[in-house]
Amino acid sequence: MTHGVILFLSTPRSPTTCRGRQLVGSQEEEMSSSTTTRGVVFIHSSPRALCPHIEWALGGLLGTPVNLEWVSQPVAAGTVRSEISWVGAPDLSAKIAVALRVFPNLRFEITEEPSPGFDGQRFVSTPSHGIWRSPMGAFGESFISEEKLRVAIVNATAQGASLVDAVDEVIGGPWDRELEPFRYAGEGIPVRWLHQVG
C-alpha cells in the first residue's frame, strides 16, 4: 500500500553553499539584494489577543504596516485565522517563522517559493509539536536529506521504534495531521499581497 510520499535523497552540498546560497565574499549580499521570492503566511489559529502582535511582527519584517483580515476559526473556539501573501528577499520565511514562533498557542504555516540560487522553504508550527522545516521544490514538494533519513533510521532502530513512524516524523506527518482540519476551515479567505520594503 502506498501513501503518496516521495522522498528525495540528495547528496551533501559543497562547503561553499548553504541552502542554495553562495557563500563567496560580498557576492552573497549582491545576490540577496537583487533576488526576490514570494510566499504565503497562513495563520491557521491564533488567540484574538495575539492578532495585533502578529501584525506588528510581520510589519516589522516586511517594512510596511500589516493589517490582516481575521476571521473566526471554527475548529478551535475563541481563535481566529488569516493569511497573507508576500514578496521579499530569499530567506524571509525563516525570519517570519522565528518571529511567530515566540507566540504561544499559535498554529501557522509559511511557504517560500524557490528563486534563482535559493531553495524554497516550508515552515510549520503547532503548540504540541513545535516547529518543522523542509526545503521545498518548485511544485511544493518537500525535500528530505539523506542525512536526516539516516539519523531517523538509526534512532528508531536503537530505540526499537517503528521505521514508518520515524520517517513520518521526518516528513512532517504529525504537523500535517494536526493542521489539516484548520486548513480546510480556511478555504475561501481573501488573499492580499504585500511587498517587502527596503
pLDDT bin (cut points 50, 70, 90) of residue 22 is very low
| Segment holding 155, helix H or strand E | helix 146-159
Domains in the chain, number:
1
pLDDT digits (tens, 9 = 90+) for 87-96: 999 999 999 9
Amino acid 187: pLDDT: 59
Asked if residue 8 is part of any domain, the answer here is: no
pLDDT bin (cut points 50, 70, 90) of residue 21 is very low
Please tell me the pTM assigned to this model: 0.75
pLDDT digits (tens, 9 = 90+) for 175-194: 999 999 998 875 555 444 45
Amino acid 137: pLDDT: 85
Asked if residue 94 is part of any domain, the answer here is: yes
Asked if residue 162 is part of any domain, the answer here is: no
Closest CA to 39 of 118, 128, 155, 131: 118
Asked if residue 96 is part of any domain, the answer here is: yes
Phi, psi of 140, deg, nearest 5: 85, 5
Asked if residue 111 is part of any domain, the answer here is: yes
Asked if residue 15 is part of any domain, the answer here is: no
pLDDT digits (tens, 9 = 90+) for 158-180: 999 999 999 999 999 999 999 99
Q: Which domain holds residue 191?
A: 35-143+174-195
Phi, psi of 193, deg, nearest 5: -105, 135
pLDDT bin (cut points 50, 70, 90) of residue 33 is low
Asked if residue 153 is part of any domain, the answer here is: no
pLDDT bin (cut points 50, 70, 90) of residue 25 is very low
Asked if residue 122 is part of any domain, the answer here is: yes
C-alpha cell at 151: 539519523
Question: Who wins on pLDDT, 48 or 185?
Answer: 48
